[in-house]
Chain A
């Protein structure tokens, strides 16, 4: 028999921050690839711009704060924030939109609060909301998926469109936005929201070409992209980078709300499937709401945090002014995190729970 001696520490941290961040970036790749497939090279260009801005901003501010910026840059958190923001904005948005957004995310939301680990709000989502509020025109110019667009575009077109607003052949963004039938196309969520406001029923609005013809209510591009991110999210779950609590409770929150309302009136309230696979629910549930810094830190708290995000998303999507709401919901719940954490502190080993204590008191 052989005794293997190992010196302390016996408990290891399995991964450092950099490894976790790199795994999350790796898990984003299927979704990003699908997004590039459907919306062209614009996505990749935006990611590139965002990463450059994020790294430069982070390095500059850390230098100002007299911190070791090499170590901070190697943890890839700035890169991940940049990627999350870049995939959320329209692929052909002008270059300064993503530059301002990333600068805001890293400089204001993250570093001014004290850097990684101290930020109250999710940097990518705070920057997204800032951009959406500040530049409503640029932030809603989603081009139609490649198979529905009137004009095809290659890498050079995308590069030109991002920097000048026109493709190589001189098509303006407004022209690139038109679908096969020459009509400007909205995103699935926007299509349904406008359609319902105009008095159409839900089943009529999902007849439009942006929706899949086989499974009703799924957007042509958005459902595939969501599946891509779902794949990445499941990989993260398997690698134990994230816990199941937040994604599951967030999806459940939205699912239950939409199920109840669509059972009440299926003409006015879209189906659960529509809500889950359009917009940014899947990437939100697996990649955004699970941010270890700004999310709740207890297991019970995570369930409350996720479920409340799901409910908020539903409320804002149905009765709010914007078609999608993941960013708003995440920010609202970020504000509630200290409260949630306070009330869901787990029992310390060796101490009795507060419920037990009151029972003990009653007995004595």
Chain B
């Protein structure tokens, strides 16, 4: 169980594929103009990650290490094709909005990175869970970035959520402010770089803050122990 806890912590925060490993930046920067796009691509990536991690883990003992990379890529490509066909069938408008970036999930380094670094060395259950957590971590950042850019760019949130979640989601759209002239910088890729930089900075600030908190706690403990020894 502890292993699973560690995996979640690694995937969601400490070793987050987008914020820390900086993998898969191309789709990250290109499609996160809105929350819906970010969520769609994030979920697709998560599905692929779970599938590829599981499969790689199952066959890990039979794959000769000399040709493991091509085999991993073929597995990933198979899952991407499945996801692509599924999206084509069930959420066609979002499929069109994401365009080339769905097939490009194949080239997302985060996926092959996990297959190589984790799934090819660990059991099926752990690998699948690792895929889930890494995918969720990636999705989280995609959604956050999408929210930042959509808010700055169009002044809305969850615009077009019905493309992904069905018609009921039309009511999810929140208009924070009305604007006739969208803030193009936030929508264009440079804005994604800026927002990404701000997110990474925010994570580092939180990390150093937490470190200081833990350090303070650790120091307190030392003081207590010292007092016990003097008493005895």
Q: Which residues of A contact B (CB under 8 A)?
A: 100, 108, 130, 133-138
Contacts and interface: CB of A to CB of B under 8 A. Distances in A.
A108 B181 contact: no
Nearest to A104: B185
B194 interface: yes
Given A133-B188, A134-B183, A136-B184, 5 more contacts: A133-B190, A134-B185, A135-B181, A135-B184, A137-B181
Contacts of A133: 184-185, 188, 190
9 contacts: A130-B185, A133-B188, A133-B190, A134-B184, A134-B185, A134-B186, A135-B183, A136-B184, A138-B181
Contacts of A130: 185
Interface of B: 181, 183-186, 188, 190, 194
Nearest to B181: A135
A254 to B, nearest CB: 27
Contacts of A135: 181, 183-184
A135 B184 CA distance: 7
Contacts of A134: 183-186
Contacts of B190: 133
Contacts of A100: 183
Nearest to B201: A112
B103 to A, nearest CB: 29
The 8 closest A-B pairs by CB, nearest first: A134-B185, A134-B184, A134-B183, A130-B185, A135-B181, A133-B185, A133-B184, A137-B181
B199 to A, nearest CB: 13
Contact of A108 (B183, B186, B188, B194): B194
Contacts, number: 17
Contacts of B185: 130, 133-134
A97 to B, nearest CB: 9
Nearest to A136: B184
A100 B185 CA distance: 12
Contacts of B188: 133
A135 B194 CA distance: 17
Nearest to B188: A133
B133 to A, nearest CB: 31
A114 to B, nearest CB: 13
A134 B184 CA distance: 4
A130 B194 CA distance: 12
Contacts of A137: 181
A138 B182 CA distance: 11
Nearest to B182: A134
B148 to A, nearest CB: 14
Interface centre among A134, A135, A137, A138 (most CB of B within 10 A): A134
A257 B184 CA distance: 33
A86 B197 CA distance: 27
B131 to A, nearest CB: 35
A147 B184 CA distance: 34
A134 to B, nearest CB: 4
Contacts of A138: 181
Contacts of B186: 134
A133 B184 CA distance: 7
Nearest to B183: A134
Nearest to B197: A112
A273 B183 CA distance: 36
Nearest to A130: B185
Q: Name, among B185, B188, B190, B194, the residue most crowded by chain A CB atoms within 10 Å (CB to CB).
A: B185
A108 B184 CA distance: 17
Q: Which of B181, B183, B186, B194 has the most CB of A within 10 A?
A: B181
A286 B159 CA distance: 47
A138 B184 CA distance: 12
Nearest to A131: B185
B226 to A, nearest CB: 32
A136 B181 CA distance: 9
Contacts of A136: 184
A91 to B, nearest CB: 18
A136 B182 CA distance: 10
A135 B190 CA distance: 15
B183 to A, nearest CB: 5
A137 B188 CA distance: 16
Contacts of B194: 108
A241 to B, nearest CB: 33
Contacts of B181: 135, 137-138
A166 to B, nearest CB: 15
Contacts of B184: 133-136
A302 B188 CA distance: 33
A54 to B, nearest CB: 19
B54 to A, nearest CB: 42
A138 B194 CA distance: 23
B72 to A, nearest CB: 38
A123 to B, nearest CB: 15
Nearest to A100: B183
A183 B182 CA distance: 28
A304 to B, nearest CB: 27
A136 B188 CA distance: 14
A134 B188 CA distance: 9
A176 B118 CA distance: 66
B205 to A, nearest CB: 11
A222 B190 CA distance: 32
